[in-house]
Amino acid sequence: GAIYFLLSFPIARLAVSNEGGARMIEIENVRKSFGPLEVLKGVSLTVNKGEVVSIIGGSGSGKSTLLTCINGLEPIDAGRILIDGTEVHARGTDLNKLRRKVGIVFQQWNAFPHLTVLENVTLAPRKVLGMPKAQAEEIAVRQLTHVGLADKLKVYPGRLSGGQQQRMAIARALAMSPSYMLFDEVTSALDPQLVGEVLDTLKMLAEEGMTMICVTHEMGFARDVSKRVAFFHQGVIAEIGPPEQIFGAPQSAETRKFLSNVR
């Protein structure tokens, strides 16, 4: 055992190093405070290419903060986050370039009301990537068709249902051809009858091999779609494991307590 441990250590380090173009999100011992309030108290998580990880946990436990740190919207106080080997918060990192790799969809996204669905989705590829209009439209139509909105291209966002608006937000993020997608409670603001269509869209992306981190209150989704589920509690991952463990045989008393309250 001891010899194997000693031998395996440098090999394991090599495997996660930046060399060879590691394709993953690596979160290492991240700490973050807002003033006196420490919100992330040493969070570590590696998400491999093609993996779907759901994050569950109580309100205020730091889930949204972690997502905003991953794509560099928020600075961190300690630790590091690597996207494909590039350190998000290092000096000299091109955050705009990095953010194109990491799409994020929030609970609510305020689309531009005076632009059509198609125009909303082409905006970032045109303005941020400098893509010609025709090419941006081709991609937008493809992504909007993908999420089931092919018949809404010329419609204004105000005419869409909540579920359609969220699917437009997903198409908008996908139009930037991200390698990773972060979803922050994308169904929480929806009427119950609209939740399913958005979860189906996420499930489709997962099946296509998109690497995703999904903060969610939908335990059925977390159980069925994720490879691993992380339970967040008071700024740390209190437990992480395959859905069978988290929902079937949780190891931590806090996980059991949380799940008995949400069910």
Could you list the residues that contact Mg ion (CB under 5 A)?
A: 63-64
Nearer to ligand ADP, 32 or 152 (CB): 32
Could you tell me the two tokens for 149?
A: 């909105």
Q: Which does 60 bind (CB under 5 to 8 A by kind): Mg ion, ligand ADP, none?
A: ligand ADP
Q: Which does 71 bind (CB under 5 to 8 A by kind): Mg ion, ligand ADP, none?
A: none
193 three-class SS: helix
Least distance between ligand ADP and beta carbon 6 (Å): 39
Least distance between ligand ADP and beta carbon 135 (Å): 36
Nearest to 118 by CA among 87, 147, 79: 147
Least distance between Mg ion and beta carbon 66 (Å): 9
Least distance between ligand ADP and beta carbon 134 (Å): 39
Q: Which does 72 bind (CB under 5 to 8 A by kind): Mg ion, ligand ADP, none?
A: none
When CB distances to Mg ion are compared, the closest residue is 64
Where does this chain bind ligand ADP (CB under 6 A)?
34, 39, 57, 59-65
Please give the sequence-ordered ranges of beta strands (E in DSSP) within the chain, or none if there are none. Answer: 24-34, 37-48, 52-57, 78-83, 86-87, 102-105, 180-184, 211-215, 228-233, 236-241
**CA 40/CA 43 separation, integer angstroms:** 6
Q: Which does 34 bind (CB under 5 to 8 A by kind): ligand ADP, Mg ion, none?
A: ligand ADP
Nearer to ligand ADP, 57 or 72 (CB): 57
Nearer to Mg ion, 139 or 186 (CB): 186
Least distance between ligand ADP and beta carbon 61 (Å): 4
The residues facing 56 across adjacent strands are 231
Cβ pair 58, 259 in contact under 8 A: no
The residues, ordered by sequence, that sit 6+ positions from 148 with a Cβ below 8 Å of its Cβ are 167, 197, 201
**CA 246/CA 231 separation, integer angstroms:** 8
Least distance between Mg ion and beta carbon 214 (Å): 12
**CA 63/CA 52 separation, integer angstroms:** 16
Buried b (16+ CB within 10 A) or exposed e, 141-166: bebbebbbbeebbeebbeebebbbbb
Nearer to ligand ADP, 131 or 232 (CB): 232
Nearer to ligand ADP, 101 or 217 (CB): 217
Nearer to ligand ADP, 137 or 185 (CB): 185
